[in-house]
């Protein structure tokens, strides 16, 4: 028994190291003086000295703030769109015959399988025509494709978990369809609403394919970061990477208790 | 009691106008209206553009029907890019599933520091793909870098990770797995926890070792969950784009990077990129059909 | 005077199963009407169809002479208490009771007044600020009742509202329900499978069988003069006993039905073989066989198992082809 426990802890330790190491490297290149990191062929594995100079210099040399603001706005739009379409769709699907609902769910699943780069290019061609190319609304509209199916699944799961009689009772008590939805059903799916919002937000924050194709001239932060990397600006890139990673990591840690397989697979599991 | 006896005479029902049919139609229609925005959106921004890409792949800028777009992408190395895409996708899937299975199995056990462990493991999920690509480009450099620094400190020879296309693809697989293993682990964990522990315990009592317990008890019961995780991840693997773009650029070129390299809205190569895109599309359709046909999802749904 | 609620040829079919089969029923104003039937006979479906949650395949529903068949539930002026009470978990007790009034568009002051009034009457005024999820079963039932009563609708439907309560609370809740119905002088349609509830609550009882009303009457009528053998079997703590007509000098096509209580054992012209006996309080009930008929007989003594017990029937009904023959 003892040996097996030691084995377990050894595996846990090795896995933990593997998963944390890249973030540790990000920490090193952000806070250790350049002479010990990029200045060395074989950089030090331990923080020999710490400095904020890398980050301060980066802020002076390139614009980090604008892409962040853009990403933030786009993510907000995407999350809002997810709720605006996901809540009604989830509600409607929970009310119609489950056979038909499942067909629609499968249809949405197909959308999720559609390669982003395949649809992004024709979309870009269309968006030029309607003035949404190099435009934040354009990015949000296209990124919504990535999150809408999952949003609908999550909301559908939420609405299906409410006892049916509550809605019936509200109707009996004199509420119309929309009143019952607004006053009874939606307040009861608040956790699903939060999860949908945050997952959509995070997905958009991370999204690269649509962003780089639809709006190369008005880049969100992943696209800008890519530009810095390809232009060989590693200090700026590392400062940037650190700034965008910290909040999302905190968010992921908070979201952890909601990040159940059920949500991530659209209610198909569990 | 005989249903046939008590069954209503049809003509009475008809005379009363099939009230319920009327209502059901009206109600379904009302609820359907709630779904329409999402559906319309998806059709307009996903199905329609996809169809456009397929048509575009057979067109010239002057809208003539041609097959030359396809011969153009073939001459750019379409065939090797298809092979490489398959290698990267399968390789990344294998790494992810092995790691995820290990993590999920560990998370079903009780041990000190489990909470901290699961938080640590989930962190990469929150890291943007582009950021992870950047970090791994620092870790794996052609000359030096953190990975080589580690090898040298162990007294080993440094490696040029970009010396051949297979080691380059391994870097992509590994970087991708770092970010996506947490998701797979979570999905597998939900499958494992839904498994009754008494099943494993009784197998243990029956004298089955860990490997046999996994093969005969755990694996068949998480088959459905596995298939779903496989489908979700597999589709994304074929679409892998930002990571290879940052880590290896266009050498070797994958299907997605081939599409992107030709992407130029004001040039004839736009239509080449459509042709490459069609291959990617076909690929993904075939892959998901195989997974569905393999019966995982079906057996899960019926269980 | 028109009936409060009238159902005409109401038919409900789910898939291949006929749940309500051309059901006709008229319920009078101010009546406490209990719909009684074994589980799975469509009692709940009947209520849900009346209130408008389910749509009938055919037939009509009238409330106060007004055809409401085509109206959604919120336009029918009918209240319903669901079996699990369906209290809105995101609201306090006060907000739950106030909900129908809010929907009716009343102003804040009169809502507060009415909610307090009804809550005082039902003795839950001290719970008004609590979250409904924290209430006991009995309190939940009262909140649901308050919410139904507060808007003063044309009538009330109750779907086994006492079945979720434990036995002791159930008896007091039953009494209270009866009192409330009389005090508010309202029409209650109450669904249950519990005969003692029907016995103690109902002005009239309708027995539901295979989607049809088999018999309507006071519980006493149903007990003493069940119109069919099926009702005779279903009503009462013991099924009614049946013996062949010729045994009591009647025609061969007739059957004699009598309750276990309607006999005197120890003497008489009829004889049966004792299979078993049980003591209930101070009386014995004897399970006996007469030919292939099973009988239950009340007795003041415990006869030996396997012995023959003689008895006489003091009161009986006559049945022909399963239906009662009026005498």
pLDDT in tens for each of the 327 residues of chain C? 567 899 999 999 887 888 999 999 999 999 999 999 988 888 999 999 999 988 898 899 999 999 999 888 988 999 999 988 999 999 999 999 999 999 999 999 999 999 999 999 888 999 999 999 899 988 999 999 999 999 889 899 999 988 888 888 888 888 989 998 998 888 999 999 999 999 999 999 999 998 899 999 999 999 999 999 999 999 998 999 999 988 888 888 999 999 999 999 988 889 999 999 999 988 999 999 998 899 999 999 999 999 999 999 999 999 999 899 875
Asked if residue B291 and residue B219 are part of one domain, the reply reads: yes
B24–C58 C-beta distance less than 8 A: no
Domain boundary among B17, B33, B56: B56
- Nearest residue, CB atoms, B8 vs list C11, C16, C60: C11
Asked if residue B98 and residue B49 are part of one domain, the reply reads: no
Place of tokens 């299906």: A160
CA C133, C134, C139, C143 dihedral sign is negative
Dist CA C63 CA C155 (whole Å): 9
- Contacts by C161-168 with C-beta closer than 8 Å and gap 24+? C161/C81, C161/C83, C161/C85, C161/C190, C162/C192, C162/C194, C162/C197, C163/C83, C163/C192, C163/C194, C164/C83, C164/C84, C164/C85, C164/C137, C165/C137, C165/C138, C165/C141, C166/C137
Burial class (CB in 10 A: 0-12, 13-18, 19+), C17: exposed
Window A:75-104, CB contacts with B under 8 Å: 84-86, 88-89, 91-93, 95-97, 100, 104
Chain C within 8 Å of A175 (Cβ-Cβ)? yes
Give pLDDT, residue A71: 93
> What are the CA-CA distances from residue B144 to residues A44, A129, B232, C145 (Å)?
11, 48, 36, 77
Task: From C163, C179, C93, select the one nearest C128 (Cα to Cα).
Answer: C93
Dist CA C93 CA A183 (whole Å): 15
Task: List chain C domain ranges.
Answer: 5-231, 238-325
- On whether residue B61 sits in a domain, the answer given is no
Asked if residue B146 and residue B24 are part of one domain, the reply reads: no
Q: Which two tokens stand for residue B138?
A: 């620092």
C70–B19 C-beta distance less than 8 A: yes
Which residues of B are less than 8 Å from C57 in CB distance? 8, 13, 18-20
Number of domains in chain B: 2
Pairing of strands C58-63, C66-67: antiparallel
Comparing alpha-carbon positions, the chain B residue that sits nearest to C14 is B20
DSSP codes, C216-275: EE-HHHHHHS-SBHHHHHHSSSSPPEEEEGGGGT--TTEEEEE-GGGEEEEEEEEEEEEE
Q: What is the 3-state secondary structure (H, E, C) of chain B?
A: CCHHHHCCCHHHHHHCCCHHHHHHHHHHHHHHHHHHHHHHHHHHHHHHHHHHHHHHCCECCCCCECCHHHHHHHHCCHHHHHHHHHHHHHHHHHHHHHHHHHHHHHHHCCCCCHHHHHHHHHHHHHCCHHHHHHHHHHHCCCCCHHHHHHHHHCCCCCCCCCCCHHHHHHHHHHHHHHHHHHHHHHHHHHHHHCCCHHHHHHHHHCCCCHHHHHHHHHHHHCHHHHHHHHHHHHHHHHCCCHHHHHHCCCCCCCHHHHHHHCCCCCCCHHHHHHHHHHHHHHHHHHHHHHHHHCCHHHHHHHC
The three-class DSSP label of residue A132 is coil
Q: Are C236 and C223 in contact (CB under 8 A)?
A: yes
Contact partners, residue C50, CB within 8 Å, separation at least 6: C5, C7, C61, C78, C157, C189
Comparing alpha-carbon positions, the chain A residue that sits nearest to C97 is A173
C307: which DSSP letter? S
Give pLDDT, residue B7: 39
Residue range A63-264 forms a domain whose CATH class is: mainly alpha
Burial class (CB in 10 A: 0-12, 13-18, 19+), C105: exposed
Which residues of C are less than 8 Å from B13 in CB distance? 11, 57-58
A144–B129 C-beta distance less than 8 A: no
Give pLDDT, residue B302: 42
Asked if residue B94 and residue B27 are part of one domain, the reply reads: no
Comparing alpha-carbon positions, the chain A residue that sits nearest to C54 is A168
Burial class (CB in 10 A: 0-12, 13-18, 19+), A30: buried
Dist CA B190 CA C179 (whole Å): 52
C212–B12 C-beta distance less than 8 A: no
The model's pTM: 0.83
**Which ipTM value was assigned to this complex?**
0.85
Give pLDDT, residue A147: 92
* Confidence check: pLDDT of A256 > 80: no
Dist CA C296 CA C286 (whole Å): 6
Chain A: give the shortest CA distance to residue B205, in Å: 16
Interior/surface letters A57-79, b for 16+ CB within 10 angstroms, e for the rest: ebeeebebeebbebbbbbbebbb
- Nearest residue, CB atoms, B6 vs list C56, C60, C210: C210
Chain B within 8 Å of C17 (Cβ-Cβ)? yes
Give pLDDT, residue C217: 94
Which residue of B16, B21, B27, B31 is the best one to mutate when testing the C interface, meaning the one whose CB has the most C CBs within 10 A? B16
Which residues of B are less than 8 Å from A116 in CB distance? 239, 241
Chain A within 8 Å of C99 (Cβ-Cβ)? yes
- Contacts by C272-278 with C-beta closer than 8 Å and gap 24+? C272/C297, C272/C308, C272/C309, C272/C311, C273/C306, C273/C307, C273/C308, C273/C309, C274/C303, C274/C304, C274/C305, C274/C306, C274/C307, C274/C308, C274/C309, C275/C305, C276/C305, C277/C302, C277/C303, C277/C305
Burial class (CB in 10 A: 0-12, 13-18, 19+), B61: exposed
Q: Which helix (H) or strand (E) holds C290?
A: strand C283-290
Chain C within 8 Å of A198 (Cβ-Cβ)? no
Sheet holding C323-325, edge to edge: C241-244, C254-258, C317-320, C323-325
Phi/psi of residue C297, nearest 5 degrees: -125, 135
Comparing alpha-carbon positions, the chain A residue that sits nearest to C52 is A172
Dist CA A139 CA A116 (whole Å): 12
C303: which DSSP letter? P
Q: Which residues of chain B have pLDDT under 70?
A: 1-25, 196, 200, 294-303
> What are the CA-CA distances from residue A233 to residues A57, A102, A230, C269, C319 (Å)?
12, 49, 8, 114, 101
Q: What is the 3-state secondary structure (H, E, C) of C160-218?
A: CCCCCCCHHHHHHHHHHHHHHHHHHCCCEEEEECCHHHHHHHCCEEEEEECCEEEEEEC
Dist CA C265 CA C295 (whole Å): 12
Asked if residue B236 and residue B138 are part of one domain, the reply reads: yes
Chain B: give the shortest CA distance to residue C111, in Å: 32
Q: Are B259 and B277 in contact (CB under 8 A)?
A: yes
Which domain covers residue B76, as residue numbers? 68-302
Which residues of B are less than 8 Å from A31 in CB distance? none
Comparing alpha-carbon positions, the chain C residue that sits nearest to A176 is C74
Contact partners, residue A11, CB within 8 Å, separation at least 6: B102, B106
Dist CA B159 CA B141 (whole Å): 9
Q: Are B19 and C69 in contact (CB under 8 A)?
A: yes
**Hey, which CATH number is domain C238-325, 3.90.550.10, 2.40.50.140, 3.40.50.720, 3.40.50.620?**
2.40.50.140
Highest mean pLDDT among A40-49, A104-113, B73-82, C197-206: C197-206
pLDDT digits (tens, 9 = 90+) for A72-94: 999 999 999 999 999 999 999 99
Q: Which two tokens stand for residue A249?
A: 């990591």
Task: List chain A domain ranges.
Answer: 2-51, 63-264
Give pLDDT, residue B19: 60
Torsion of CA B88, B91, B93, B95, to 10 degrees: -130
Give pLDDT, residue B293: 72
- Nearest residue, CB atoms, A172 vs list C79, C88, C89: C79
Report the CATH superfamily, name and number, of domain C5-231.
Answer: P-loop containing nucleotide triphosphate hydrolases (3.40.50.300)
| B-C contacts at Cβ under 8 angstroms | 47
C55–B20 C-beta distance less than 8 A: yes
Please count the CA atoms within 13 angstroms of the CA of A191 that sit on its side-chain side. Answer: 13
Give pLDDT, residue A120: 92
Neighbours of B92 (CB within 10 A): 26
Q: Are C89 and A188 in contact (CB under 8 A)?
A: yes
Chain B: give the shortest CA distance to residue A64, in Å: 14
Chain centre to alpha carbon of residue A145? 13
């Amino acid at each position: 028994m003892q040996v097996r426990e030691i084995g377990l802890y050894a595996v846990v330790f090795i896995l933990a190291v593997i998963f944390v190491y890249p973030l540790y490297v990000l920490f090193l290149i952000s806070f250790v003086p350049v002479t010990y990191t990029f200045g060395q062929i074989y950089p030090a594995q331990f923080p020999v000295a710490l400095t904020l100079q890398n980050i301060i210099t980066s802020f002076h040399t390139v614009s980090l703030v604008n892409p962040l603001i853009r990403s933030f706005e786009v993510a907000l739009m995407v999350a809002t769109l997810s709720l605006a379409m996901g809540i009604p769709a989830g509600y409607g699907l929970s009310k119609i015959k489950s056979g038909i609902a499942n067909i629609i769910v499968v249809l949405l699943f197909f959308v999720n399988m559609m390669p982003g780069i395949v649809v992004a290019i024709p979309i870009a061609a269309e968006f030029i025509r309607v003035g949404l190319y190099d435009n934040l609304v354009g990015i949000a509209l296209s990124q919504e494709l990535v999150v809408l199916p999952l949003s609908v699944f999550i909301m559908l799961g939420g609405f299906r978990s409410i006892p049916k009689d509550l809605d019936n009772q509200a109707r009996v008590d004199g509420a119309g369809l929309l009143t019952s939805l607004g006053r009874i059903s939606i307040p009861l799916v608040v956790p699903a609403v939060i999860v949908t919002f945050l997952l959509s937000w995070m997905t958009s924050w991370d999204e690269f394919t649509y962003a780089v194709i639809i709006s190369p001239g008005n880049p969100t932060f992943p696209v800008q970061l890519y530009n810095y990397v390809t232009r060989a600006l590693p200090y700026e890139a590392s400062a940037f990477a650190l700034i965008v990673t910290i909040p999302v990591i905190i968010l992921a840690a908070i979201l952890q208790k909601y990040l159940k397989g059920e949500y991530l697979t659209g209610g198909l599991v569990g | 009691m005989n249903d046939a006896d008590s069954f209503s005479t049809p003509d009475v029902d008809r005379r009363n106008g099939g009230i319920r049919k009327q209502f059901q139609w009206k109600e379904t229609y009302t609820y359907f209206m709630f779904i329409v925005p999402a559906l319309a959106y998806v059709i307009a921004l996903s199905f329609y553009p996809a169809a456009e890409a397929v048509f575009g792949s057979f067109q010239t800028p002057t809208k003539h029907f041609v097959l030359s777009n396809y011969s153009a992408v073939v001459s750019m190395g379409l065939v090797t890019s298809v092979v490489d895409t398959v290698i990267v996708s399968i390789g990344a899937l294998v790494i992810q599933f092995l790691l995820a299975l290990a993590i999920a199995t560990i998370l079903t056990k009780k041990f000190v520091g489990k909470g901290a462990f699961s938080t640590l493991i989930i962190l990469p999920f929150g890291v943007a793909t582009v950021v992870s690509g950047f970090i791994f480009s620092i870790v794996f450099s052609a000359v030096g870098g953190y990975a080589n620094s580690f090898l040298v400190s162990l007294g080993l020879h440094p490696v040029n990770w970009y010396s051949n296309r297979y080691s380059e693809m391994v870097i992509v697989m590994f970087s991708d797995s770092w970010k996506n293993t947490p998701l797979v682990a979570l999905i597998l964990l939900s499958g494992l926890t839904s498994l009754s522990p008494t099943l494993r315990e009784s197998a243990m009592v029956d004298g089955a070792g860990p490997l046999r317990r996994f093969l005969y008890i755990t694996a068949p019961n998480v088959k459905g969950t596995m298939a779903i995780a496989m489908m979700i991840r597999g589709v994304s693997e074929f679409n892998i784009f930002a990571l290879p773009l940052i880590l290896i650029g266009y050498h070797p070129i994958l299907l997605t990077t081939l599409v992107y390299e030709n992407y130029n809205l004001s040039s004839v190569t736009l239509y080449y990129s459509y042709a490459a895109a069609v291959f990617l599309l076909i690929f993904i359709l075939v892959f998901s059909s195989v997974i569905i046909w393999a019966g995982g999802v079906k057996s899960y749904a019926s269980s | 005077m028109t009936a409060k609620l009238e159902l005409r040829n109401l038919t409900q079919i789910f898939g291949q199963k006929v749940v309500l089969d051309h059901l006709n029923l008229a319920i009078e104003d101010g009546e406490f009407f209990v719909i009684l039937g074994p589980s799975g006979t469509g009692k709940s479906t009947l209520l849900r169809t009346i209130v408008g949650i389910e749509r009938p395949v055919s037939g009509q529903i009238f409330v106060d002479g007004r055809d409401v068949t085509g109206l959604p539930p919120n336009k029918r002026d009918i209240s319903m208490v669901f079996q699990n009470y369906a209290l809105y978990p995101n609201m306090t007790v006060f907000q739950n009771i106030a909900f129908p009034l809010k929907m009716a568009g009343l102003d804040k002051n009169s809502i507060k007044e009415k909610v307090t009034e009804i809550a005082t009457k039902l003795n839950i005024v001290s719970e008004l600020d609590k979250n409904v999820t924290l209430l006991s079963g009995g309190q939940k039932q009262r909140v649901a009742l308050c919410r139904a009563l507060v808007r003063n609708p044309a009538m009330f439907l109750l779907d086994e509202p006492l079945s979720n309560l434990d036995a002791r609370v159930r008896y007091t809740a039953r009494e209270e329900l009866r009192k409330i119905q009389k005090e508010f002088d309202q029409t209650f349609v109450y669904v249950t499978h519990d005969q003692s509830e029907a016995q103690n609550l109902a002005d009239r009882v309708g027995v539901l069988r295979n989607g049809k009303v088999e018999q309507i009457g006071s519980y006493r009528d149903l007990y003493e003069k069940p119109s069919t053998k099926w009702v005779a079997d279903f009503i009462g703590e013991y099924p009614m006993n049946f013996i062949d007509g010729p045994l009591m000098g009647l025609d061969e096509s007739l059957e004699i039905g009598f309750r276990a209580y309607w006999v005197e054992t120890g003497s008489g012209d009829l004889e049966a073989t004792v299979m078993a006996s049980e003591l209930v309080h101070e009386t014995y009930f004897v399970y006996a066989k007469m030919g292939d008929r099973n009988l239950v007989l009340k007795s003041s003594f415990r006869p030996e198992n396997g012995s023959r017990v003689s008895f006489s029937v003091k009161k009986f009904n006559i049945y022909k082809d399963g239906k009662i023959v009026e005498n």
